[in-house]
Structure 1
């Protein structure tokens, strides 16, 4: 199998932390989004949606989103599990991954992609052109503030998002908080529980 990714981007970052924590090594090719390599004919043949990460399996099938890639690799490498200890916890982890993506990561993406020349006519990832909507920048900031407030409440009540151990949901929350730096936003200092939680997650990922 072969992984196509761009390590510094937020979705690849989610997968990179998964791989590093579990000690999984995969043949990898960087697809430089800054140079628009995701639109090359060779990469379109692997993922017509022109997004990373993408995991091409030995039979040519490609998995093109973080959730499916992580679940597949988890089945091959069950050591140091990151999808919980039961069917219920696995469902809860996937649920959290979805919520963190839609309410956190996408709020930041709206702020990032709807201003400036870098994403002109590319307000959403993918092969099609879409004009920027400047009003979404402010809405994204409001959504992000609400996201941080909600996660502060959650982290005040529990050490991990699911169960009593680190899961991919915790990795995803860390990735979202890191991604906020791309729009020059930090987790508010008032979110003391969230800050403490993020330090615990970083410490576990560091081993």
Structure 2
């Protein structure tokens, strides 16, 4: 089994952090996305949409999409539980995980892909105005999460879950390329949450 990743990219990091929390070790294969390796015929044969991460299973199949890969590992290694112990908890964790992905990670990724010169090879054409508009919406979106974190310890409730992984990787992606710190916007609950998650050993995965 192999996990095809792009080092330091947020979505592969989500899977690597998930595996670290599970205590599961999987061989990783780096994919050089800056040199378009993810668009090579060899990689497209693994994932026709040219995205990482991709899990190469022992039976020769390839599983793409971050959450699908995490779901596979949750089934293979159910403890510690990160996605919900029953249908109700799974639904609420997925809701918060999707919100972290769509309203936190996605606008950050859009700003970086369209405004950062280092990402130009991956996003052609770049639309800087669109990227800036996404960045402009981010503070209001993050204030929503900051208010929620005032009343609970973790992103989806009172225990660590996959939603914390998604949100943390999003915030760290912004910290690295946008020089973003929640406290700079007065988001102290979000900053406290980020610092607590950063103290977990799994936070070093995928760096």
Q: TM-score, normalised by structure 1?
A: 0.89
Q: 1:140-192, CA deviations, whole angstroms, 9 ceiling, x for partnerless residues?
A: 11121122211111100111222421101011111111011212322234111
Larger relative contact order, structure 1 or 2 (CA cutoff 8 Å, min sep 6)? 2
Choose which of 136, 140, 144 in structure 1 pairs with 2:138. Answer: 144
Q: 1:32-84, CA deviations, whole angstroms, 9 ceiling, x for partnerless residues?
A: 11222111211111011111000122222222111000011010001111112
The offset of 1:114, in angstroms, is 1.4
Choose which of 182, 187, 191 in structure 2 pairs with 1:187. Answer: 182
Aligned residue in 2 for 1:14: 14
SS of aligned partner of 2:146: helix
Flag structure 1 segments of 5+ consecutive residues without an equivalent.
124-129
| Mean Cα deviation higher: 109-118 or 42-51 | 109-118
Aligned residue in 1 for 2:28: 28
Aligned residue in 2 for 1:73: 73
RMSD: 1.9
Matched, 1:202 2:186: no
Q: 1:39 to 1:101 in 2, by over 3 A?
A: same
Aligned ranges 1:151-190 → 2 under 5 Å: 151-181=145-175, 182-189=177-184, 190=186
Q: Following the alignment from structure 1 to structure 2, what is the Cα–Cα distance between the partners of residues 19 and 103?
A: 24
SS of aligned partner of 1:29: strand
State the number of aligned residues: 201
Q: Following the alignment from structure 1 to structure 2, what is the Cα–Cα distance between the partners of residues 13 and 195?
A: 20
Flag structure 2 segments of 5+ consecutive residues without an equivalent.
none
Q: TM-score, normalised by structure 2?
A: 0.89
Aligned residue in 2 for 1:126: none
Q: Following the alignment from structure 2 to structure 1, what is the Cα–Cα distance between the partners of residues 158 and 115?
A: 40
Determine if contact 1:12/1:53 at 8 Å carries over to the other structure: yes
Matched, 1:108 2:108: yes
Detail structure 1 runs of 4+ shifted over 4 Å in the superposition.
none
Determine if contact 1:92/1:162 at 8 Å carries over to the other structure: yes
More helix by share: 2
SS of aligned partner of 1:166: coil
| Mean Cα deviation higher: 65-74 or 26-35 | 26-35
